[in-house]
Amino acid sequence: MKTLSAKVGAIAPSATIEISDRAARMRAGGIDVIALSIGEPDFDTPAHITEACIDALRRGETHYAPSPGIPALRQAIAEKLATENGIPCTAGQVVVGCGAKSSVYETCEAVLNPGDEVILMDPSWVSYEPCVQLAGATAVHYMVREEDFQPDDRLLEAVTDKSKMIVINSPSNPSGAVMTKASLGLVKDVAEDHDLIVMSDEIYEKLIYDREHLSIAAMGDMHERTVTINGFSKAYAMTGWRVGYAAGPDAIIRQMIKVQQHTMSHTATFAMFGALAALTGDQTPVEEMRREFDRRRRFVMETLAGMGLHAAPADGAFYAYVKVEGDDMAVASRWLDEAHVAVTPGTAFGTPGWLRLSYAASMERLDEALGRIRALDG
Ligand SMILES: Cc1ncc(COP(=O)(O)O)c(C=O)c1O
C-alpha cells in the first residue's frame, strides 16, 4: 500500500482514548464504572421536538434538502441570533451543519490556508486543533490566566504575521469559564488590530449559571469578522440528532456551503424539522435542564472544595475542572482503577495537571463517584 495521508497521520490520537477504552473494558467485565467523562446531557430530547421530527418523517420529509439547511430553520436561526444574541444576521448567512463539530470543521476549511496560524485558548476543546490541522494550518496555543480562566494581555504574544483566526469558546468546555465583557473586548481589540477572523463556539450558551452570555459578534463591527458556532446538542439534549450551525460573513459562509455541498450535503432532513421545533417551541425544558445542572454543579463544587480540591470557576457548561497534584493521566488512571470513576485528563485539552469531571450524571451517581474518590485518600 502507498503512504497514507500525512496530514491525517500527523493528528495525535486523543488523550482520552486510553482511559475511555479501559473504562469500557472494565464495564464489559461487569465492573460498575461511573463515567464522569461524558460530554453530553443525560436527559432525553424534549418530547415536542421528537414529535416534530416524527411528523416530518410521516409527511415524507425524507428527501434531499438544500445543502445549507431547510429555509425555515435557517430563518429561525437568523432570528434567534438577531433577537437573543444581538448579532446582525440573515438566513443567507447561516449554514446548518451535522452538529456544531461539522460547522467548526467547515469554518477551518473555508478560512485557512497551509501556513496559517490559529490561536487556541487553552484549555480548549479537543477537536479544534485537528480541524485546524485538517485544513493544513497550524494551531498556536495560548494558556488563559489560571486564576480565573480569562484571557489577558499575554494573548498578544501568540499573534504573529501568520495568524489568521482566533478561537473562543464561552462557556468553555472543559473549564466551565464564561468570558467576561472585558475578555471579549480584549479579543475584539486583538482581532481588529491584527485583522483576525474569530470563531466563537457558543454551544454551551444556554447552560450558564449566574452569568450572562455575550456574543462577540454583537460587539461593534465584529459580525463582519466572526463566525458564530452553535447547535442543538447541549441546550436541547439532541447530541445524536447531529444538528448544529454557523453564522457569519457572506464570503465565509459561501465557502462553507461549497465544502458542505461536496462532502456531507446536509444533516438529515427530518432532524432539521426537529431542530426547528426546538428553536420555535416551548423553551421550558431548556430551563428545567439548566436548573438541574445548576443543582448538581453546586453539589459537585461544594463537595470538591470540602475535599480540598481546587476547581476552575464552573460558571457554565456541565464540567468541573479540577487541579490535581502530579500527572493528570496517572491520577485519572488511578481514579479509574481504584475508584472505578472515569474522568478526562486535562492533557487532552492542552492543560496537564487538571481533570475534567462531567456532572451530566444523576445526583446519586455523582454522590457515589465523589465518595469513592474521597475514600481513595481517606
Ligand atoms: C465546545 C464544543 N464545541 C462543539 C461541540 C460539538 O457539538 P455537536 O454535538 O453539535 O457536534 C462540542 C461537543 O462536545 C463541544 O464541547
> Residue 12: what pLDDT?
83
Q: Are 77 and 247 in contact (CB under 8 A)?
A: yes
96 Cα–ligand 1 center, Å: 14
Of the candidates 255, 233, 247, 13, the residue with the CA atom closest to the CA atom of residue 130: 13
261 Cα–ligand 1 center, Å: 21
* Ligand 1 probe mutation, 233, 236, 242, 319, most atoms within 8 A of CB: 233
Let me know whether 262 and 233 are in one domain: yes
Let me know whether 271 and 300 are in one domain: no
Q: Show the domain range for 157.
A: 63-280
Q: Whose CA is nearest to atom 16 of ligand 1?
A: 173
Question: Is residue 51 domain-resident?
Answer: no
pLDDT for residue 113 is more than 90 = yes
Interatomic CA distance for residues 342 and 37, integer angstroms: 6
Let me know whether 10 and 68 are in one domain: no
Q: Could you tell me what percent of the chain has a pLDDT over 90? A: 96
pLDDT for residue 366 is more than 80 = yes
3-state helix, strand, coil in the chain (%, to 5): 45, 15, 40
Which of 280, 300, 325 terminates a domain? The answer is 280
Interatomic CA distance for residues 233 and 40, integer angstroms: 8
The helix/strand/coil state of 19 is helix
Let me know whether 125 and 274 are in one domain: yes
Question: Is residue 58 domain-resident?
Answer: no
Task: Judge if the beta carbon of residue 172 lies within 6 A of ligand 1.
Answer: no
Let me know whether 97 and 139 are in one domain: yes
Interatomic CA distance for residues 54 and 111, integer angstroms: 37
103 Cα–ligand 1 center, Å: 10
Element (H, E) at 119: strand 117-122
Which of 231, 257, 280 terminates a domain? The answer is 280
Rounded to an integer, the average pLDDT of 72-84 is 98
Helices (H) and strands (E) in the chain, counts: 12, 12
Q: Are 357 and 39 in contact (CB under 8 A)?
A: no
Domain harbouring 263, CATH code: 3.40.640.10
Instruction: Determine how many CB atoms are found less than 10 A away from the CB of residue 297.
Output: 22
Per-residue pLDDT tens digits for 143-195: 999 999 999 999 999 999 999 999 999 999 999 999 999 999 999 999 999 99
**Is the bond into 114 cis (omega within 30 degrees of 0)?**
no
Domain harbouring 291, CATH code: 3.90.1150.10
Please say whether the dihedral angle defined by the alpha carbons of residues 94, 95, 100 and 102, taken in this order, is positive or negative: negative
100 Cα–ligand 1 center, Å: 6
At 19, the pLDDT band (50, 70, 90 cuts) reads: confident
Which of 226, 254, 280 terminates a domain? The answer is 280
Let me know whether 310 and 260 are in one domain: no
The per-residue pLDDT of the chain, averaged, comes to: 96
Of the candidates 266, 265, 267, the residue with the CA atom closest to the CA atom of residue 240: 267
Of the candidates 367, 377, 361, the residue with the CA atom closest to the CA atom of residue 308: 377
Task: Judge if the beta carbon of residue 203 lies within 6 A of ligand 1.
Answer: yes
Task: Judge if the beta carbon of residue 171 lies within 6 A of ligand 1.
Answer: no
97 Cα–ligand 1 center, Å: 12
Give the DSSP letter string of 72-112: HHHHHHHHHHHHHH-----GGGEEEESHHHHHHHHHHHHH-
Q: Could you tell me what percent of the chain has a pLDDT over 70? A: 99
Among 4-18, 247-261, 316-330, 338-352, which is the least confidently predicted range? 4-18
At 21, the pLDDT band (50, 70, 90 cuts) reads: confident
Question: Is residue 50 domain-resident?
Answer: no
Q: Which residues pair with 35 in a beta bridge?
A: 342
Per-residue pLDDT tens digits for 36-64: 998 889 999 999 999 999 999 999 999 99
What torsion, rounded to 10 degrees, do the Cα atoms 164, 190, 85, 258 define? Answer: -10
Q: Strands 341-342 and 163-169: what pairing?
A: unpaired
Of the candidates 182, 224, 243, the residue with the CA atom closest to the CA atom of residue 87: 224
Task: Judge if the beta carbon of residue 169 lies within 6 A of ligand 1.
Answer: yes
Let me know whether 291 and 269 are in one domain: no
How many structural domains comprise the chain? 2
Task: Judge if the beta carbon of residue 199 lies within 6 A of ligand 1.
Answer: no
Task: Judge if the beta carbon of residue 142 lies within 6 A of ligand 1.
Answer: no
At 378, the pLDDT band (50, 70, 90 cuts) reads: low
Per-residue pLDDT tens digits for 193-236: 999 999 999 999 999 999 999 999 999 999 999 999 999 999 99
